[in-house]
Amino acid sequence: MEDREVDAAGILSSETCDSSDSNGHRNGDDDRWPTLPNLLLEKIFESLPLKYRFYASLTCRSWNYTFNCPGSWKTFVYGDYVLTRPKYTLHGAYNYYPDYYRMRALISKTSSRWHTLIIEPLTMLFNLYEFLRILTNFCDYSVQTGEEKAEPIFYGTGGQLLKASPLFLCHVTNLKSLTLRHLLLEDHEAEEFLTEMLNCFAKTLICLCVRNLTKSSRSFLHFGLFLNLRKLVISPQHLNDDVIYLLGNIAYLEDLFIVQDEYTGLATPGSSSAWKEFASRAPNVQVHLHCSGRCKMDMIWQPMAPVTSIMYSSSFSCLTIQSALTIAEYYSNTLKSYLQKGLQRRYRSKSYNERADTALLMLVRSCRHLQLLGIRERISTATAIMAAYISPNKSLKFYVRRQALLKRADYPFGPNELSSEMVNCIKVAAKSYEFTDALIGEVYGSQWRALSDNEYMHIFR
């Protein structure tokens, strides 16, 4: 059988011609190989070993098309040296080991077309074991996800590794800070793990960070039972009204960070009544909303929570009219900081109605206690001047990017909004970066200038 396969490959590769047409077919007088019927070509390709099958596919476009047809892969023969690579060993000989990259690539692309699998007598049984193992894993995956492209599947850190962690941590006496990120556990595993952590560190932990502990949306009352916590970082899917009530009873809690990222699933925010009760029980606790990573979702707003800062470190997030209205409704009396870190990777038009100008001015007007404002999005120089002019807090730390600042006086001034002299002053200053910097600095009573991209990224690292 091996001799016949090699001879067939030799016949296919020995047919040559001096020229080719526009379709990649050879134009010899006696050359009829490219014009053979597809069914016959599929039978020929099916009888070739993998190596020569690939070489034959490089002959012309017709043969390459046949190489990718399902009929060419109806029968797959696995032998000793199929999908292996030689490796030199210390005792002076070459051993053949599985080539996992080629093995996985071949199985993922062609195994769905196999009708017959032939395993020849082998001497290297380990290679056969690895081939069958990878083929089995691929079959399990295909059954679960189907042939179509599925959504990303996240695998958590559970099992024996999770069971070993508490055994070690419980021997760490007086542990002050514990961070658990993206464990993505099953619900019962997370419940048992937090119970063991609570038994060991209920009175010693000062800082606790638990983000995406489970794959699904699941709240845990354990977070409210760490009695000496001063800082808690948590994902929004682990909060509900009962957890919020318990957190309000922690005597020493100072900062509560609610962080969402690309692993955060659908989460239901706490109710406004729960957050009002939390604010009355813990008036000194500062709540921070943070959107990080590659999160493309909008912020999960917590109604009437005592939020003092909102921060975006996700490059896909942007300030919209809807988010500005939500902030004005829920956090107008508490918000002190609004910050967009990094550079934006999401396209927004330069048109005034589609930029963040209107939302920015709404945010500045409504939040009377705003102390820090960092905007990385496109706004006009006239909007930057107006934001400084209408801000209730004249000591506001206002940061914008020079490269995102458009020299335009396109702000729609109302008839009685400003005096005609002020309007003319803003329109003249908006045509120059230097005049804009000088006018904003005059409003704040100190020197001011827009930052370069490097400066903006460095100051908010």
User: How confident is residue 5, by pLDDT bands cut at 50, 70 and 90?
Assistant: very low
Query: Of the segments 11-15, 72-76, 90-94, which one has the largest average pLDDT value?
Result: 72-76
In a domain, 142, yes or no: no
CB 381 within 8 A of CB 406: yes
276's CB contacts (< 8 A; 6+ apart) are 304
For residue 142, pLDDT beyond 80: no
In a domain, 65, yes or no: yes
| Residue 53: domain span | 35-73
Domain tally for the chain?
1
Task: Give the SS3 label for residue 163.
Answer: helix
Alpha helices (H) along 88-230: 100-110, 125-145, 159-169, 187-201
Q: Rounded distance, CA 232 to CA 186, Å?
A: 22
Q: Rounded distance, CA 383 to CA 436, Å?
A: 10
Q: Give the residue among 285, 386, 268 at the shortest CA–CA distance from 334.
A: 285
Contacts from 133-139 at CB under 8 Å and sequence distance 24+?
134/100, 134/103, 134/104, 134/107, 135/107, 135/111, 138/104, 138/107, 138/108, 138/111, 139/111
54's CB contacts (< 8 A; 6+ apart) are 67
In a domain, 51, yes or no: yes
CB 339 within 8 A of CB 363: no
Alpha helices (H) along 202-307: 241-247, 272-281
CB 25 within 8 A of CB 60: yes
For residue 16, pLDDT beyond 50: no
User: How confident is residue 22, by pLDDT bands cut at 50, 70 and 90?
Assistant: very low
In a domain, 69, yes or no: yes
In a domain, 67, yes or no: yes
Confidence (pLDDT) at 84: 87
The model's pLDDT over 367-418, given as tens digits with 9 standing for 90+, comes to 999 999 999 999 999 999 999 999 999 899 999 999 999 999 988 888 888 8
Q: Which of 16-25, 84-93, 446-455 has the lowest mean pLDDT?
A: 16-25
Confidence (pLDDT) at 152: 63
- Report DSSP state, residue 119: E
Q: Rounded distance, CA 109 to CA 428, Å?
A: 64
Q: Which of 61-65, 252-256, 449-453 has the lowest mean pLDDT?
A: 61-65
Q: What percent of the chain has pLDDT over 90?
A: 49
In a domain, 374, yes or no: no
User: How confident is residue 20, by pLDDT bands cut at 50, 70 and 90?
Assistant: very low
Confidence (pLDDT) at 284: 95
